[in-house]
Amino acid sequence: MKRDDVMKTIQGAEVCPGNAGVIKVPLSDFRHVAEGLRNDPQSPMDFLRDIVGMDWGEEGLGAIYFMESTVTGDTIAIRTATTDRQQPLLPTVSDLWKTALIKEREVYDFFGILFTGHPDMRRLFLREDWIGWPLRKDYDMKSNPLRLDNEINADITKEYRLQRDGTLQGIDHRVFGEDDFVVSMGPQHPSTHGALRMRIALDGEVVKKVDPVLGYIHRGIEKMNESLTYPQTLGMTDRLDYLSAHQSRHALCTCIEQAAGIEISERAQYIRTIMDELQRIDSHLLFYSCLVLDMGAMTPFFYGFREREMILDIFEETTGGRLIQHYNVIGGVQDDIHPTFCQKVKDFIKHLRKVIKDYHDIFTGNVIADTRMKGVGILTKEDAISMGCTGGTGRATGWANDVRKRHPYALYDKVDFKQITYNECDTFARYMVRMDEIMESCRIIEQLIDNIPAGEFRVKTKPIIKLPEGIWTSAVEASRGEFGVVIESHGDKTPYRMHFRSTGLPLVQAMDTLCRGWKFADLIAIGASVDFVIPDIDR
């Protein structure tokens, strides 16, 4: 089944306004359409980019499914809804795409939509005893006073099945067996890179199961954005993945600019692209530092930080911020680049090319590092696509998923760079992808830095921006995968709903597949190599 087939064969299918081209599909046909799209012989929609829960009020509760075919690159987005607000039911697609296993839990958590057939219907971010569904429009903000008691994680999870007579049947599944030795790792743990918690069943040193417990720094950014004007929403994006601050904000700016029809200047495009790549180098240097530190090598850790500091200094001079810069704005960038910016960037790249050899000398060829990384933590290409593990983790499985190549934005179609892919699928491949990408980013910057055209860095925009009605989307290649923005606008100055595709959520989901059967120490190394950042998962 393809896009045209959906439009032709499904009664009531219609296209919603907006650049996302979302097709409305009636609930009764949804499951059939999803299967058809997934199993199309020519262009199977095997990559489920995102599931976005929605409360359409009158139209009911539902979700938008963004899909893409890794074979042909075709994309399609379908949406479906149920009008039953008391017990909203949607059929699960977790048997078609593994990523739905975790993303449907997110929708359930925020909208209370039960996915029939999903084997693990627990809340994802909020406490298990949370009252109500916070992203519904009729949610009572006072229904959950601050609780000081401990949250006890249930060991039993429910699967809901719809019987023929229309009643729901609940089936219990065990998360952990009674005799499992379950170690709680996090939220305060040196190697979870933030407030992530994983419950890990161990058999001696061997990992039997990993169950991520999320939400320790969930701030409700998507809910907050529903009451902020568009320029105000920009402030939140830097606080998602703080190591992709530029790129996340770039994505949101692009989305708003496309929807509002704002053309930005060539100069701003150059600056944005260079900043994105500097940010990527920054993030990958930190990745290197954290990976080596997690594997017990303290000295190379400081190498990465030494060079990263230079990038932060460059950021600081131009943007005033080091970690989160608040630099992109709707219509361009906040301020013009510092007069010494170009020279400093060139000097830095020259320096980096020289010292990157040290990085490899001390760690890459090391016999201990080699034996601990090669062949460890295998994620197959099929799993990577099915779980939606984009970024370096996906590219280490041979899946060419770089948004900069798939859907070029900014200046990426004008510069020459290689998409790094490895086929080994192991920790070492994930490590090498990042190390090689640092060099590719250097190449991109070198092609741009001398040619920044003159012109204005920011076009004038109206003080109050209203987006036309519709569903708008954009995506960028953030430091650790595809970062997407989905805005549903009803023509107001605030978004009706704003959703961010988390780059880290699929990576955390993949931890179970990656770590099973490996040692506890490998879990740490694998966790570092898939490179997740928690504030981006707990939005």
Q: Which residues form the interface with another protein (CB under 8 A)?
A: 181, 183-184, 189-191, 202, 205, 292-299, 301-303, 306, 362-363, 366, 368-369, 371-372, 519-522, 524
Q: Are 479 and 280 in contact (CB under 8 A)?
A: yes
What CA–CA distance (Å, rounded) separates 37 from 85? 28
Q: Smallest distance from the beta carbon of 213 to another protein, in angstroms?
A: 16
DSSP annotation of 242: G
> Of 522 and 531, which CB lies nearer to another protein in the complex structure?
522
What b/e string do you get for 259-293 counting C-beta neighbours within 10 Å, with b at 16 or more? bbebebbebbbbbbbbbbbbbbbbbbbbbbbbbbb
Q: How far is the CB of 240 from another protein (least distance, A)?
A: 25
Closer residue to another protein, CB minimum distance, 245 or 310: 310
Q: Which is nearer to another protein, 202 or 342 (CB)?
A: 202
Cβ closest to another protein, residue 372 vs residue 434 = 372
Q: Are residues 432 and 324 in contact, defined by beta-carbon separation less than 8 angstroms?
A: no
**Which of 380, 427, 396 has its CA nearest to residue 523?**
427
Q: Say how many residues make up the chain.
A: 539
Least CB distance from residue 189 to another protein, whole Å?
7
Which residues lie below 8 Å from residue 10, measured CB to CB, with a gap of 6+?
25, 26, 29, 33
Cα 178 to Cα 47: distance, rounded to the nearest angstrom? 36
Cβ proximity to another protein: between 4 and 179 the closer is 179
CB of 472 to another protein, least distance (A): 42
- Closest approach of Cβ 296 to another protein, in Å? 3
Q: State the minimum distance, in angstroms, from the CB of residue 530 to another protein.
A: 15
Give the distance from CA 344 to its chain's centroid.
Answer: 31
The least distance separating another protein from the CB of residue 304, rounded to whole angstroms, comes to 11
Closest to another protein by CB, 493 vs 516, is: 516
Task: Give the residue with the Cβ less far from another protein, 303 or 496.
Answer: 303
Closest Cα partner for 183 from 194, 199, 196?
A: 199
Cis status, amide bond into 187, omega within 30 of 0: yes
Is the CB of 187 or the CB of 408 nearer to another protein? Answer: 187
Residue 183: CB minimum distance to another protein, A: 5
Q: What angle do CA 384, 387, 393 make, to 5 degrees?
A: 40
Looking at beta carbons, which pairs linking 379-382 to residues 24 or more positions away fall under 8 Å? 379/425, 379/510, 379/513, 379/514, 380/425, 381/425
